[in-house]
């Protein structure tokens, strides 16, 4: 907190007053990334697409274009969340919003009779959330050496084949 305060020309106390805690600062940081990279606006645009398969794909394109931008911070939060309560809270905050959005997306697929048989809305949203997670993307790109484009393409195609009629 002292380093951040010094970097922005404020006192450490001012940072605490504004954000409430280190955890509050982390949550503000990750929410700012959402705003800066327009993820919610891109999701909103994708949700206006009528054909369900195109809507799902547009949402996945928006998300998988966003992941490389947040990856450096996300990877640190994922790693630190096991031992750092503030990092865990920041990660949980963003992933809860993402899962809520994916549930809305899947409810629409279900409403449009596009969800494959055997899936409940809840299970399909959980599967979608896990399949296109930062962790899955990171394993393919960082650990296995896939290009970002290839990873995104395979994730999109696999999710669509699995969840759609």
- Bridge partners of 164, per DSSP, are 115
Region 14-31: mean pLDDT is 85
Is there a contact between 165 and 117 (Cβ–Cβ < 8 Å)?
A: yes
Give pTM, 2 decimals: 0.92
- Bridge partners of 115, per DSSP, are 164
What confidence score (pLDDT) does residue 67 get?
A: 98
Q: What is the mean pLDDT of the chain?
A: 95
Domain that holds residue 93: 37-163
Both tokens of 65, joined, read: 């274009």
Is there a contact between 70 and 134 (Cβ–Cβ < 8 Å)?
A: yes
Q: How many domains does the chain divide into?
A: 1
Is 47 part of a structural domain of the chain?
Answer: yes
Is 124 part of a structural domain of the chain?
Answer: yes
What's 139's domain CATH number?
1.10.357
How do residues 55-114 score in pLDDT, each as one tens digit?
999 999 999 999 999 999 999 999 999 999 999 999 999 999 999 999 999 999 999 999
Residue with tokens 């409403």: 111
Q: Note the residue count of the chain.
A: 165
């Amino acid at each position: 907190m002292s380093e951040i305060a010094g970097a922005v020309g404020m006192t450490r106390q001012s940072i605490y007053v504004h954000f409430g805690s280190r955890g509050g600062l982390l949550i503000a940081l990750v929410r700012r990334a959402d705003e800066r990279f327009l993820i919610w606006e891109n999701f909103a645009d994708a949700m206006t697409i009528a054909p369900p398969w195109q809507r799902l794909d547009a949402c996945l394109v928006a998300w998988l274009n966003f992941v490389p931008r947040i990856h450096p911070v996300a990877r640190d939060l994922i790693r630190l969340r096991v031992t750092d309560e503030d990092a865990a809270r920041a990660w949980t905050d963003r992933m809860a919003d993402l899962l809520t959005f994916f549930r809305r997306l899947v409810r629409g697929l279900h409403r449009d009779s596009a969800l494959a048989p055997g899936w409940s809305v809840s299970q399909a949203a959980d599967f979608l959330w896990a399949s296109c997670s930062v962790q899955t993307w990171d394993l393919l790109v960082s650990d296995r050496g896939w290009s970002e484009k290839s990873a995104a393409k395979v994730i999109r195609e696999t999710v669509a084949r699995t969840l759609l009629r």
